[in-house]
Amino acid sequence: MDFQLTEAQRLFAEAVRRFAHDRLAAGALKRAHQPRFPFDVAKLAADQGLLGITLPEADGGQGGSLLDAVIAIEQVALVCPRSADVIQAGNFGPIRTLAEYANPAQKARFLPDLLSGRAVISLGMSESEAGSAVTELKTTARRDGDEVVIDGSKVFSTHSSDASLFLVYVRFGPGVDGIGSVLVERERPGFTIGKPSAFMSDEEWCQLYFQDCRIPAANVLLGAGGFKKQIAGFNVERIGNAARSLALGRHAFNLAREHAAGRRQFGRTLSEFQGLQWKFADMAMKLDAAQLLLYRAAANADDKGLPSAYETATAKAFCNQTGFEVANEAVQIMGALGYSRESLAEYCMRRTRGWMIAGGSIEMMKNRIAEHIFDRRFDQRPGPSKTDEN
């Protein structure tokens, strides 16, 4: 067992760190308070080869590993937390599911704009009545000749104010086996994007409405029976979510450490108070433990770069908890300055809070972990469950 990055990974991390310091550090605070997708950063990241890190070179990617993508998102987040969303969108989010399951014609149509930073893709998965219970989604897709007709609506889609393409989970028929996904361009007739709302993080999301929305059948990504594949792709999104949670926790930790080393009260630096030293020790232990779980999940990804459900769940739940707890403590240690928008600590706290819910909540991840522990499926729905009877 080797707990070190390889020489190539270390050099890559250094190169990304240098890029982030040179190109992203200056605007980091301002960027954190701008709700719209930072396309300027996306173009810089594309030029630096930081979009499509895990995609094959034949598809316009860099041919790297999931761990390479994790290293990139961490290094960017440690300098500019908001810019890490660009690395997420260009490597871990719906772009990854698209790239995994798209046919050559779909890749040729959609990937170039996404990988050049000119466009961003948004995920339409959650519905008002289908959150954690995502398989209860009601948005339908019906084949009509060469077209597919979509009806329904979606909530909470990240980047929906700015996305030109949406990966939408739809129902072609009843039950889990009826679920698949389609690619919908922003300008499609019958597709309306509602007024922006804001999360606690200030990020915008819009409700998506599909009313007799017709798309070419060529825009079907995965037909009925595609749900398991979608979730396999979504596990990559969860790794990016976990990596940002951890990196923003570490970002806030670094701010608090610097503050505690310099700030004096009662004639001593804050770092000299044991009450605060022990906070730092607890934070460091959690960050290190979370880091190992994250790297394990990424390093053990299969030959397609897809991580296992169990290792993803443990990494995501623990990184989500750790990121928020550490950022929250960092705010406390920094006092009013930490709570103020003059510092990125409060931003890290607000962002990490959201990832405890997004992408499969901590509770849903723990349900998955429990299934692994007991080696059986626990149906969350009321009533006798087929698997419980076994």
Ligand X SMILES: Cc1cc2nc3c(=O)[nH]c(=O)nc-3n(C[C@H](O)[C@H](O)[C@H](O)COP(=O)(O)OP(=O)(O)OC[C@H]3O[C@@H](n4cnc5c(N)ncnc54)[C@H](O)[C@@H]3O)c2cc1C
Binding site for ligand X (CB under 6 A): 123-126, 131-132, 156-158, 199, 354, 357-358, 361, 363-364, 367, 380
- In whole angstroms, the minimum distance from the beta carbon of 292 to ligand X comes to 25
Strand partners, 141: 150
Cβ atoms of residues 288 and 320 within 8 Å: no
The whole-angstrom distance between residue 60's C-alpha and the CA centroid of its chain comes to 21
Q: Are 135 and 227 in contact (CB under 8 A)?
A: yes
Q: For 176-205, give one letter per residue: b (16+ CB within 10 A) or e.
A: eebbbbbbbeeebeebebeeeeebebebbb
Least distance from C-beta 168 to ligand X, angstroms?
9
Q: Which is nearer to ligand X, 156 or 210 (CB)?
A: 156
Residue nearer to ligand X on the CB measure, 101 or 199: 199
Given the complex with ligand X, which of 120 and 298 has the nearer CB atom? 120
Beta strand pairing status for 165-171 and 121-124?
A: parallel
Measured at CB, which residue is nearest to ligand X?
131
CB of 157 to ligand X, least distance (A): 4
Q: What does the alpha-carbon distance between residue 89 and residue 163 come to, in Å, rounded to a whole number?
A: 10
Beta carbon of residue 4, minimum distance to ligand X (angstroms, whole number): 33
* Residue closer to ligand X (CB basis): 161 or 291: 161
Other CB atoms within 10 A of residue 340 CB: 12
- Nearest to ligand X of 67, 183 (CB atom): 183
* Pick 131 or 173: Cβ nearer ligand X: 131
CB of 162 to ligand X, least distance (A): 12
Q: Shortest approach of ligand X to residue 129 CB, angstroms?
A: 9
Complex with ligand X: residue 79 or 125, whichever CB lies closer = 125
- Min CB(389)–ligand X separation in Å: 19
